[in-house]
Amino acid sequence: MIEFDGKLTGECKKFLVKKEICLNLLVSSITFILFSIPVILLSIYWSRLTLLFLIPLFIMLMGSLLPLSEKEQKSFIPKKIFLDLSENTIVHQCEETERFHMIDSVKKVIDYGEWYHVLFYYEDRDLYFVCQKSLLTKGTLEEFEALFEGKIERRV
């Protein structure tokens, strides 16, 4: 068993928060575009006042750029990630949720120097599997790297 346990800090935490904000912005942008098309068409064919319906959509879009509160961050920042070699699973636990994937579904592991970002194939896609090296409590980094040999990409 390989286990990373503790609170993420520094660049690793910033990386995850930035990914979450980008995801929120993407979802809000798609929603804005999908809902603004009918509103614009209505304003052309009916009344210009229907353009006022774009205001709440725009506010929602701008709201996705706001910094995330600590409570929001607890919903996706891992408290514990462990690899159970006997069951061939990698498990992500945070305050509110627990996710797991098969170790075989790992596409690649990106080594950023202080942490690893584990990426999965499309059907298992998950942004939140980030393992900070200083939080390793069970196993060794050599075991972790041997497990994903050939899938590790270094970006230091």
| Average pLDDT score, the chain | 86
Helix (H) or strand (E) holding 5: strand 2-5
- Rounded to two decimals, what is the model's pTM? 0.79
Helix (H) or strand (E) holding 3: strand 2-5
CA angle 156, 88, 2 (to 5 degrees): 50
Nearest to 155 by CA among 23, 37, 11, 32: 11
Give 70 or 124, the one with higher predicted confidence. Answer: 70
The pLDDT of residue 106 is above 80: yes
The pLDDT of residue 138 is above 80: yes
State mean pLDDT over 56-65: 85
The secondary structure of residue 140, as a DSSP letter, is: -
Name the one residue in this structure whose structure tokens are 């750029």.
65
The pLDDT of residue 124 is above 70: no
Distances (CA, A) of 151 to 25, 29, 75, 125, 129: 30, 33, 28, 16, 15
Contact at 8 Å (CB) between 2 and 110?
Answer: no
Residue 129: CA count within 13 A, CB half-sphere: 27
Cα gap 48→14, rounded to integer Å: 43
